[in-house]
Structure 1
Amino acid sequence: MSEITDLRAYLSELEALGDIERISREVDPKLEAAAVTRLSTERRRPAPFFENIGGVAEGFRMIGAPGALSSSPGHPLARISLSLGLPHTTTAAELVAHLAQAGTKPPLPPRRVDAASAPCKQNILLGEDASLDRFPIPFVHQDDGGPYVNTWGVIAARTPDGRWTNWSISRVMMIDGRHMTGLVLPSQHIGMVWQEWEAIGEPMPYAMVQGGDPGIAVVGGMTLPAGVDEVAYLGALLGKPVDVVPCETNDLVVPASAEVIIEGHLSASRDAVEGPFAEFHGWALPETSPQPLFSIDAITYRDDPIWPLAAAGRPVDDSHVAPAAGISAEVVTILREAGLPVTTAWLPLGAACFWTVITVPQNWREALPGMDTARFVHRIGEVLNGNRVGRLSPVVYVLDDDVDPSNDSDLLWALGTRVHPYLRQEQWYGPIMPWYPCFLEEELHRGWGAVVVHDALLPAVGSGRVPQASFDGVFPADLRARVLADEAVAPNA
């Protein structure tokens, strides 16, 4: 595998896997590109690469579903794995372990390089020329409030005192060529940064990044702890710093290899109406909200730029994969830091990341002598309830690690046969996220509800646990060896 330093090298790797579908016919950025992308994600097809976008200058291109599940047989996480410098064969457990380990490494700040030779500076638009009208801004869903500039790009923002620079994904809607608006929720990191600018009554400088090192969008879509600089975390994750250059009109830095950079300021008050927009939970809710106004001061871009498009909706698409991996890694980290034995964690993608599944070693009782399953799971709930990331999923299941939580067949069997219909569960009340339609309207309005933690652990080995009725569970070892040897000689004979 060659080193992936930008979106173009990443797409070359996907194409080598057969995970890119080039579309040369003209495609309309209003709904058609998103419809093709949406169908691609639902059918697990290769990522659509639109080479001929209608209504814009020749050379402008678009890539759909760059962070969704891969079409590569047996390797659904190939896109996110390659984005983070890992082999395309990486499993969910390996991905979570890698991310959890990266969180223990010292951050590696970005490296400034010569702006004059940076690809993102090949074309520079300032003032009135800095307009979105020349770009293929996608209209994603038919009932959206407008075209959405940002679906898989990262917004860079910094606190007024400079102590924290946040790079995160948040949806942003086009109002006209020079103005946008987007979700800036108090619970989001961009909202936390913006509130500091609001408090001093000054507009917040921002830079919106489309394209670049593919790991930037993946990390921007994760839920790292507040105060963590995503670009420095990504440097530690990759083992090398991200190359950056300064913006044209503010003191933020941006990836040198980015496809498009939009610079400007975010108003210190909520002056615009954002939405509606169909979201990751799979529902096209007719919601709008007052949000700050993004003004555009400059746009820089590469020759023949490639605009990334994520068509959010029913699972599984880009809006599920990166958050699932990032949250799972954080869950593993906080539980292990609390001294609890954990094998892995995973947010099942088909459940729109509304569930967290935690698996523990089958010999966990050796590490926690005298503790029964109820107390063990209570302790897990206690740790999760005391941490922001632990309340990001309204339902938590604790299972033995004889099942793979990323395997839907394994998971459904385990949930169906090990979860009691109404016993062995605890409700932990506290803050809830505003985007979960499974809660009551009153709960969402108050921002307060329950996270339910299910004890689905089996009895101890030798104390009532029965073997699985599977190939590995109910046949003698010598017979299994002969059958496997015969299969290897004459597979599917």
Structure 2
Amino acid sequence: MCATYRRGRTRSTSSAPRIDARKTSASTYGTTSCCRLLSTGIATGRTIRFARWRPAPTGKRSDHQCRKEHIVTTTSEPTGEIFDGLQEYVAACQEIDDYHVIEGVDWDEELGALVEAVAETIPNAPMLIFDKVKGYPEGYRLVSLLGASYKRAALALGLPTDKSRDELAELASQRLRAVKPIPPNEVPAGPVMENVMEGEEVDLWRFPVPRYHASDGGRYIGTGDSLINKDPESGYVNMGTYRMEVHDKNTLGLWMSPGQQGRLICNSYWEKGEACPVVATFGTDPLTWMASHGRSPWGESELDHAGGLRGRPVDVIKGPITGLPIPAHAEIAIEGEVPPPWEEARDEGPFGEWPGYYSGGTLGTGEPQPVIRVKAVYFRNNPIILSQAPMWPGARQTGLPMGAGRGGAADLARAGVSHVVAVGTPFAYMRVIAINQQYPGHAKQAAMAAAANTRNGRWIVVVDEDIDPEDLKEVLWAMTTRCDPETDIEILNGMWSTPLDPLVSARPDKKESGDHTNSLAVFYAVRPFHRRELFPGVSRSPKELRQRVMKKYGDILPFPNV
């Protein structure tokens, strides 16, 4: 069957009802109707059990119900709708008509190639919802390019979608700098428990898992995932995004780079000869996933950071098998354990990674990699896999400059660097810091603080406040006109990298010794502090004037992001 696509609001034609998550708030339907809606589904067969839902007492809010709340607060908290789950967010994107539904796509290479083509060629790429994937029934879906448009990124952050990209970037920066951790809230039940597979019933092939790239070694369910485990000594709960390959119906391959916090926690169990209990989810609300694939310092849980991003706690269920927190509104979740690699390990990969090369796993190390023995699978009705397969860096998946990772503006401020205007990543391996210079050595202070918090970096560029650190054209202009190669380029050696770095993996000496380090170049592309007054003035039209004329003539000229 050839793939087809539809744009606009869609409705399932299957006999089973499609959950309309836009209509599940208590203010619209009431708690009883909400619970009834959550108990519908399309999954059938003896291996599936439907959870029994009980309505909350009249006048009281159910802990597990879907909700979409308006929160009016300061700029440190969301001022619009915040979504409990991915289904609710996808429904909201459908409301603003920023999506395409693709039906009949082949999970084998075709899906990955299509996503890459859209991300590479269409500015503010639409969200892609894949349904009726080849060999799978309607309702078992994937979603890609979640935040590739600035409007969808703003929607996820609870920001208004009727503002320009620059205005939204500033609002996003304000929010992210002011985030305070909020611990998760344990609830007795949630939509993720609508369907349960345990023991011999577990079958990961029930879901439309793609093989994204031509030379991928298998099918990867874990690209937009979150893996949760707990340090046995301190009780610290880590949540991180690590790639996961489906080996068979109840076994996942797991690749975690050395030094990653999830890997360090696994090591703590393995050193005692024990398997590490884990939970993994394959589709959460966008802010929880944003926290997951960022990095918090050791001891600061990404679940707490997710609560801070959301402005309220993440609802979690205590895992029946592991006791670990399971996000209650996750699309798909598994409980299982990661045995010591000498007890069980398998070849993993190769897999096309974010630098644009096949790397990591068995290809990068020459050794089999850990596995997850899956004990139970939980999933919502009409589940959606968050598909965020890495693509070569020219295919952008981010609509707004978030700057939320380590080395972002908030981290630089905590390191004592003042007057940081913005931090951007306009291309892979490149971090750009825009500062308002206040004193001699300010640019170097910012660069060294960023370098200390940068992993997988190749270039750090410090620019003045008039440069947009997310605009590669502006950054290159500053580098070519304000950076003197003789005095303004510095090389740092022995910097923390990863086996995914093609320069690391291509050197046998580093590969054999486990030396995952590289060099990092710092470009000081700022006006020399002591000669700022002598530096020529910029002849470019002021930003405010450019924005004004683009809005004025936007109806006859195709200006982007207006």
TM range, normalised to the smaller chain?
A: 0.7 to 0.9
* Counterpart pick for 2:251 among 179, 191, 216: 179
Native 8 Å contact 1:258 1:302 kept in 2 = yes
Native 8 Å contact 1:397 1:455 kept in 2 = yes
Instruction: Quote the Cα distance in structure 2 between the aligned partners of 1:83 and 1:40.
Output: 21
| Length, aligned pairs only | 460
Identical aligned residues as a percent: 25
Instruction: Quote the Cα distance in structure 1 between the aligned partners of 2:549 and 2:370.
Output: 65
The yes-or-no answer on 1:164 pairing with 2:236 is yes
* Counterpart pick for 1:357 among 432, 435, 451: 432
Q: Report the equivalent of 2:297.
A: 225
Could you tell me which amino acid in structure 1 is paired with residue 442 of structure 2? Answer: F
Task: Quickly say closer, same or farther: Cα 1:195–1:84, change in 2 above 3 A.
Answer: farther
Instruction: Quote the Cα distance in structure 1 between the aligned partners of 2:411 and 2:252.
Output: 37
| Residue 56 of structure 1, CA deviation | 2.7
Task: Quickly say closer, same or farther: Cα 1:99–1:490, change in 2 above 3 A.
Answer: closer
| Residue 167 of structure 1, CA deviation | 1.0
After superposition, the C-alpha distances for 1:197-249 in whole angstroms (9 at most, x for unaligned) are 11111101111112232211111111222221111111122211111112232
Task: Quickly say closer, same or farther: Cα 1:226–1:317, change in 2 above 3 A.
Answer: farther
Instruction: Quote the Cα distance in structure 2 between the aligned partners of 1:455 and 1:485.
Output: 33
| Residue 95 of structure 1, CA deviation | 2.7
Structure 2 SS opposite 1:128: helix
Instruction: Quote the Cα distance in structure 2 between the aligned partners of 1:489 and 1:62.
Output: 38
Q: Report the equivalent of 1:304.
A: 382
| Residue 251 of structure 1, CA deviation | 0.4
After superposition, the C-alpha distances for 1:361-384 in whole angstroms (9 at most, x for unaligned) are 1xx33xx3xx2xxx3333334434
With normalisation by structure 2, the TM-score equals: 0.75
Native 8 Å contact 1:219 1:322 kept in 2 = no
Q: Report the equivalent of 2:176.
A: 99
Task: Quickly say closer, same or farther: Cα 1:321–1:152, change in 2 above 3 A.
Answer: farther
Instruction: Quote the Cα distance in structure 1 between the aligned partners of 2:555 and 2:135.
Output: 53
Could you tell me which amino acid in structure 2 is paired with residue 34 of structure 1? Answer: G
Instruction: Quote the Cα distance in structure 2 between the aligned partners of 1:229 and 1:130.
Output: 29
The yes-or-no answer on 1:453 pairing with 2:522 is yes
Q: Report the equivalent of 1:278.
A: 352
Could you tell me which amino acid in structure 1 is paired with residue 467 of structure 2? Answer: V
Alignment of 1:366-377 (within 5 A): 368=439, 371=440, 375-377=441-443
Could you tell me which amino acid in structure 2 is paired with residue 111 of structure 1? Answer: N
Structure 1 SS opposite 2:408: helix
Instruction: Quote the Cα distance in structure 2 between the aligned partners of 1:325 and 1:86.
Output: 16
* Counterpart pick for 1:378 among 444, 450, 474: 444
The yes-or-no answer on 1:346 pairing with 2:429 is no
The yes-or-no answer on 1:43 pairing with 2:121 is yes
Unaligned 5+ segments in structure 1 are none
Instruction: Quote the Cα distance in structure 2 between the aligned partners of 1:4 and 1:324.
Output: 18
* Counterpart pick for 1:210 among 253, 257, 282: 282
Task: Quickly say closer, same or farther: Cα 1:486–1:133, change in 2 above 3 A.
Answer: closer
The yes-or-no answer on 1:62 pairing with 2:142 is yes
With normalisation by structure 1, the TM-score equals: 0.85
Q: Report the equivalent of 1:79.
A: 152
Instruction: Quote the Cα distance in structure 1 between the aligned partners of 2:446 and 2:549.
Output: 42
Could you tell me which amino acid in structure 2 is paired with residue 98 of structure 1? Answer: R
Native 8 Å contact 1:222 1:322 kept in 2 = no
Q: Report the equivalent of 1:423.
A: 487
Native 8 Å contact 1:34 1:140 kept in 2 = yes
Instruction: Quote the Cα distance in structure 2 between the aligned partners of 1:177 and 1:291.
Output: 18
Instruction: Quote the Cα distance in structure 2 between the aligned partners of 1:200 and 1:484.
Output: 64
Native 8 Å contact 1:443 1:449 kept in 2 = no
Instruction: Quote the Cα distance in structure 1 between the aligned partners of 2:550 and 2:443.
Output: 43
Q: Report the equivalent of 2:99.
A: 20
The yes-or-no answer on 1:471 pairing with 2:541 is yes
Unaligned 5+ segments in structure 2 are 1-79, 558-562
The yes-or-no answer on 1:114 pairing with 2:188 is yes
Q: Report the equivalent of 1:133.
A: 205
Native 8 Å contact 1:95 1:325 kept in 2 = no
Q: Report the equivalent of 1:314.
A: 392
Native 8 Å contact 1:159 1:165 kept in 2 = yes
Task: Quickly say closer, same or farther: Cα 1:427–1:490, change in 2 above 3 A.
Answer: closer
| Residue 400 of structure 1, CA deviation | 0.7
Instruction: Quote the Cα distance in structure 2 between the aligned partners of 1:446 and 1:113.
Output: 44
Instruction: Quote the Cα distance in structure 1 between the aligned partners of 2:413 and 2:495.
Output: 23
Task: Quickly say closer, same or farther: Cα 1:335–1:256, change in 2 above 3 A.
Answer: closer
Instruction: Quote the Cα distance in structure 2 between the aligned partners of 1:246 and 1:189.
Output: 21
Structure 2 SS opposite 1:377: helix
Task: Quickly say closer, same or farther: Cα 1:190–1:320, change in 2 above 3 A.
Answer: farther
After superposition, the C-alpha distances for 1:147-201 in whole angstroms (9 at most, x for unaligned) are 0010101111111235211111110111111111121222212111111111111
| Residue 316 of structure 1, CA deviation | 5.0
Instruction: Quote the Cα distance in structure 2 between the aligned partners of 1:140 and 1:153.
Output: 15
Instruction: Quote the Cα distance in structure 2 between the aligned partners of 1:288 and 1:314.
Output: 18
| Residue 297 of structure 1, CA deviation | 0.3
| Residue 252 of structure 1, CA deviation | 0.7
Kindly report the root-mean-square deviation, in angstroms, between the aligned alpha carbons of the 2 structures.
2.9
Task: Quickly say closer, same or farther: Cα 1:491–1:262, change in 2 above 3 A.
Answer: closer
| Residue 322 of structure 1, CA deviation | 9.3
Instruction: Quote the Cα distance in structure 1 between the aligned partners of 2:399 and 2:548.
Output: 34
* Counterpart pick for 2:502 among 434, 437, 441: 437
Which has the higher mean CA deviation after the structures are superposed, 444-453 or 141-150? 444-453
Task: Quickly say closer, same or farther: Cα 1:174–1:129, change in 2 above 3 A.
Answer: same
Which has the higher mean CA deviation after the structures are superposed, 57-66 or 222-231? 57-66
Instruction: Quote the Cα distance in structure 2 between the aligned partners of 1:189 and 1:396.
Output: 24
